[in-house]
Structure 1
């Protein structure tokens, strides 16, 4: 539900930042004016107004008139008209998820607005561009655009637009898990809107601010949600009321306050059914299931969670489906249906893997697009340099009176410059080729690990669990001697150990804790697990690692580097103790990784020999992250590996 309100706020920002569009009026009356109007700036605005009137019920017709406005503006060299066309037309492109085209046009509008020297229009164009990045989950670029918009809105003195951009930015910072900054911007937005008498915008900002506090400060979150609820009730905004009731119910749910959560979820469920909002209906039904679970009314709890599951399954709502499956598992555990509960958890795990894979693929695609964009920008800059050089050469050739000596010198200079540019292009292409190959290998390796982990967990894990279940049932119907019974129980214990070992291997191949809690906790758990196994005593330390802004690909690559280094220690070093330390420097933007052991050491010349797959894998990953590796070792004196990564 929080995601839906975030989208509503972005849509509101988009509408508020469009360039002075007129309210839609009667379409027929607007169409009758067209033949009477000459090809001038007034006709451009008339096309925009007709598009606005069509937009709600006939988007294709709206797009047609917006394009007419764009063509006429281009013929008239009417820059403001071109910006109006872009702002209106890209709204339709965003609705159709055609974000690449929308982004290209919005970037063009920023350039055009800069030529007008109109700070308000420029701020709106930056904000609309930021919205497109927000839709595509490119939150870093979205913030860059929003910061520029906020700066110009503040310079124009329009406090309402400052509040709206602050509201949009708090959602973006929350997506980046920078809650302190998100809270700061949310408080700024709410403070401004309280003084501007804009209750609807204030209510949305309060909900978003409550979302920022919901994870750590439930009292503050509850206060903001209740204030927003009172505003929406006064405005008779049913969807807002429903959203607030669910959010308030969730706060009470995490406080285990069953009596207070029940009326919230009941009212939200009724409103969701009235509004025909199945996703909200599923969330409210899950909340009521938890209420009846707390009250030990397991039949009612199961009935509500099955209703929620049916909705999330029919609509392919994967995030909600995972939550519903976990809630079903809790209900089944409560009624002692252990097999059913385990099956529900296994199904939830499958969907979580799918979600994680989709997120990784989305992030990879976004990085690829960004890389391609940077590549195109570099090519454009190179072309601009070439054109500038050619123009300079032509100018001096036209001024032949300057003499053959000057012409010769300029020709030689131009030749040398071209050589340098061509060499730079060759080096750039080689670098691009290496990065692409390395990224493809690493992505393929992680996909294979994920597939194998899934096969182990779902295939072998399911078979072992089934065998254990069958043996347990068989035991009840067999008459055995005490010795045989002891042997039978020992076999069951060995089967349990096999299941745990299989799950440990699957976890190491694709660690869920890395996705959920970040690199620091994932490495701490990995080292602790090695330590518990008694194979190697591993000491783990980290300094300011949580302050490093690591994307998923970088974090996963660092995890694999340390995993491979520790595996090498276990296999080859004959060591008793090992140290893993990560030290992040905010000032230098560097992450220093140290892995040391007290093993037998090695001859460093052996690292250069072919055939060392593990060390080659480590080097490839370090090169991919543009890092440096320093290895120190001597026979009998252990080994120390120091890796420095720019982050």
Structure 2
């Protein structure tokens, strides 16, 4: 079943949901342009610029950002803090749309400061809730939940509670994601109750959909369906296509699990019609996937194949890999049932490639078993209650034989024993499953430890070999070449040589001198003397200065908090990482400027290397990792750190590395 994830949509929708109205348009309307020309004061100009930015945010976020920034100056000159607050909120959401999360956080912090200046708790809550949206987009669920709960606490103490239903729905969705359906159910009920109290039918339907999903996760399927039936007429009244698509999808799922294929087909066709009205490719893909499932169950394989092919094309266009995983599995089943075993194998293989951990096994049998167990429990309770009533009746009239008493008691005992035996078997099965999962986790941890030991040995061996070679080159071959140079220099004064031969002799001495310098440079790079004597920061400073001397590009080196040295092995590994990154820039980036920055805060070290080169498509990294990047990743893994690479063609590359020292 699909849940209403209000926080997963674009910045424009989040703004509309949580925190300001947004007008959708392809270009800035002429009416706003005309109003801007005739604006009588700074406050009016700021408001019009704000409206202009909102009108193009969904289609031209860069243009929208420019308009929002233009709105700040007249708003500040007019001291219109209400307008300034909305501008910062929109700037933050626009940065989310542009995937610049750190800038979005700065925008929402500015909005929070203005709201506190206004002493407006509702607006403070809006800024806090939007901070939660940022961390949600950064996939930091824990931080997002922290901000959502903080916003809920603020709004619960306000008279104006209009945003609470939507926020409760967001919290419910996060809890469901974290597999906490009991807590999720609590917040879904809160969302429904608050929306009913406020008379907000849009939020009420969102809350009902999420409440239905919570019941479904708790295996209370009939309650889940009843809630959907309650939500459907309200969604039609709202004329909200997204709500209608979601409800039809979930009802179609319910009917499909119940094998009521006629009703399932009806709901899926309704879903397809609403998705077509929206023009949304993701929902069209989901609708076609649902239709393919229904036609497959109806044994109408040709129609199933048509719809699954359409779903695959649409999912590929929007890049929905999770959806594609299900599509490939259903396509494999359809081809297998049609006798096209070669194609079936190809699609099952594609599904495994996307994810070998999703959807293990078929879930329909488990749902049917859970439903059967649920019904058996109900019947057992009904039988016990009937027997109790019967015993009371027999006692009252005193007309029942000993045999009937024995029969009733035996039946009740059999039911109780069967129930206890079933419960014991189920508990043993769950315990065995938990033990198996724990064992797998231990095996995974042991394998990881084994890999770390191997990497440690490899890196230590590499550095020892580098140190030995550097010493041999510097002390052995370097000393030998210096001796040869000294001997040749002495011979020059004692030999009678023609001018031409003297020129050749001098060039030979120069070449020998150059060779000695190059030899010392290579030995130094293999194991810098400054690194062992004075530490990482000084070694990197000297290394970047040597690059600057070549004129290939300019390196700006910054270090903060590096006054105390870190562990020797870590220093060597970090030096090699930065050395490898700068070598990659020399080979591939065509950059003119590079920034290398080290920041140490308590036990945390951050490394940033940024260039203004030609950049590249980071989506290709998984398929085409070079030896350099592989070495960097293995060293980062050894340090138990995190490596992030951000790059776009023509916009340079930013590499961030963080780990504990």
The alpha-carbon deviation at position 97 of structure 1 amounts to: 2.4
How far the C-alpha of 1:191 sits from its partner, in A, is 1.1
CA distance in 2, matches of 1:519, 1:85: 55
Note if contact 1:167-1:185 (Cα within 8 Å) is conserved in structure 2. yes
Match of 1:186 in 2: 188
After TM superposition, list the pairs within 5 Å mapping 1:56-205 onto structure 2.
Answer: 59-73=61-75, 80-205=82-207
Q: Give the corresponding residue for 1:642.
A: none
For residue 524 of structure 1, what is the aligned residue in structure 2?
Answer: 436
Question: CA offset at residue 173 of structure 1?
Answer: 1.9
1:97-153 per-residue CA deviation (whole Å, 9 max, x = no partner) reads 222211222133334433443212211111111122222222111111111111111
**Corresponding residue of 1:292:** 295
Q: Is the 8 A contact 1:30 1:50 kept in 2?
A: no
CA distance in 2, matches of 1:324, 1:559: 32
Cα contact 1:305–1:327 (8 A) shared by 2: yes
Instruction: Name the structure 2 match of 1:33.
Output: 38
The CA deviation at 1:161 is: 1.8
Deviations 1:36-94 (A, max 9, x none): 32x5x565445434434554666555433321232345567765554332112222222
User: Are the structure 2 counterparts of residues 29 and 624 from structure 1 closer, same or farther at C-alpha, using a change threshold of 3 Å?
Assistant: closer
Q: Which residue does 1:260 correspond to in 2?
A: 263
Is residue 254 of structure 2 the alignment partner of residue 251 of structure 1?
A: yes
1:273 equivalent in alignment to 2:295:
no
| CA pair 526-256 structure 1, distance change in 2 beyond 3 A | farther
- The answer on whether the counterparts of 2:292 and 2:305 sit within 8 Å (CA) in structure 1 is yes
- TM-aligned CA deviation for residue 271 of structure 1: 3.1
Alpha-carbon distance change, 189 to 527 in structure 1, aligned in 2, over 3 angstroms? closer
- The structure-2 alpha-carbon separation of the partners of 1:523 and 1:19, relative to structure 1 and needing over 3 Å to count, comes to same
CA contact (8 A) 2:3 2:209 kept: no
Q: Is residue 2:16 matched to residue 1:15?
A: yes
Q: Which residue of 2 aligns with 1:237?
A: 240
The unaligned stretches of length 5 or more in structure 2 are 360-429, 452-635, 642-661
Cα displacement (A) at 1:194 = 1.6
| CA displacement at 1:250 relative to structure 2 | 1.3
- Whole-angstrom distance in 1 between the partners of 2:49 and 2:19: 15
Classify the secondary structure of the residue corresponding to 1:282. helix
Whether contact under 8 Å (2:12, 2:57) holds in the other structure is no
1:561 matched to 2:448? The reply is: no
Q: Distance in 2 between matches of 1:120 and 1:29?
A: 33
Question: 1:352 maps to which residue?
Answer: 355
Helix, strand or coil at the partner of 1:97: coil
Task: Tell me how far apart the structure 1 counterparts of residues 268 and 306 of structure 2 sit (CA, whole Å).
Answer: 15
RMSD: 4.0
**Pair 1:221-2:224 in alignment:** yes
Larger gyration radius, structure 1 or structure 2: 2
CA distance 1:341–1:151, change in 2 (3 Å): same
Q: Which residue of 2 aligns with 1:316?
A: 319
Rounded Cα–Cα distance in structure 1 between residues aligned with 2:66 and 2:157 = 36
Q: 1:343 to 1:168 in 2, by over 3 A?
A: same
8 Å contact from structure 1 (residues 18, 124) kept in 2: yes
Name the SS of the counterpart of 1:177 in structure 2.
Answer: coil
Q: How far did residue 339 of structure 1 move?
A: 4.5
Compute the displacement of 1:345 (Å).
1.5
1:456-475 to structure 2, matched below 5 A, reads none
TM alignment of 1:182-581, pairs within 5 A: 182-215=184-217, 216-352=219-355, 524=436, 527=439, 559-562=443-446
Say whether the 8 Å CA contact 1:113–1:121 is kept in structure 2.
yes
Alpha-carbon deviations, 1:576-633, whole Å to 9, x = none?
xxxxxxxxxxxxxxxxxxxxxxxxxxxxxxxxxxxxxxxxxxxx999969xxxxxxxx
TM-score (norm 2): 0.50
Give the 3-state SS of the residue equivalent to 2:38 in structure 1. helix
Query: TM-score, length-normalised on structure 1?
Result: 0.52
Matched residue pairs, number?
Answer: 381
- Which range moves more in the overlay, 289-298 or 128-137? 289-298
Cα distance change of structure 1 residues 238 and 92 upon mapping to structure 2, 3 Å threshold: same
- Secondary structure of 1:160's match? coil
Tell me which moved more, 94-103 or 112-121: 112-121
Q: Assess if the C-alpha contact under 8 Å between 1:242 and 1:268 holds in 2.
A: yes
Residue equivalent to 2:626: none
